[in-house]
Amino acid sequence: MNQENVVKQQTIEKQKVIDEIKTKLGKSSAFYVTRYDGIDVENISRLRKELRDQQSEMKVFKNTMVLRALEGNSYKENFEEILKGPNSLTFAYADPAAPAKVLFDFAKKNKKLEIKGCLFENEYYGADKMSVIKDLPSKEVLLSMIANVLNEPMARVARVLDALKESRESEKN
């Protein structure tokens, strides 16, 4: 294989990685950037399993490939600042706050994991604002809270109608 073909092959391989990152970004409601160096394989495997249980995925990509995948987005410059050194990306495919809870719990036990920032529902959060996300209730809890708020007025109407019915029945007797 000549030099020109090698370069073409490398370009194709890089584009595949960039496309993979773009696809994962498109499917996810949030993604988190963490620095993971110094964490042993056993602990990283355990963390990845916990994240999978939350319908999330942790992957390692070259920082340059991630930045290329982010081209054209207004928040790219925020990630240029934090994508230095060995990083992993965690993609949230369901509840965008779920991986934050897993990552923060893991970081409490393993000080070598550094949560550097995230894109949460198309808004960038740096490390200084990450605690806001980890304290959010889960999607299921939020939906339950909304259902309760919507259900209460209907329950009141039903109680009033029931009381009116009983009142009219007692008047007839």
Residue 122 sits in the same domain as residue 39: yes
Domain hosting 153: range is: 137-173
Number of domains in the chain: 2
Residue 46 sits in the same domain as residue 81: yes
Residue 152 sits in the same domain as residue 79: no
Residue 102 sits in the same domain as residue 123: yes
Residue 46 sits in the same domain as residue 122: yes
pLDDT of residue 44: 94
pLDDT of residue 20: 96
pLDDT of residue 141: 56
pLDDT of residue 168: 78
Question: Per-block average pLDDT, block size 10, for the chain (173 residues)?
Answer: 81 93 93 92 95 95 95 88 93 91 91 91 81 59 62 72 76 72
pLDDT of residue 88: 94
* Residues in Cβ contact with 117 at an 8 Å cutoff, skipping those fewer than 6 apart: 32, 33, 78, 79, 82, 124, 125, 126, 127, 130
pTM of the model: 0.74
Residue 119 sits in the same domain as residue 147: no
State the DSSP string of 151-163: HHHHHHHHHHHHH
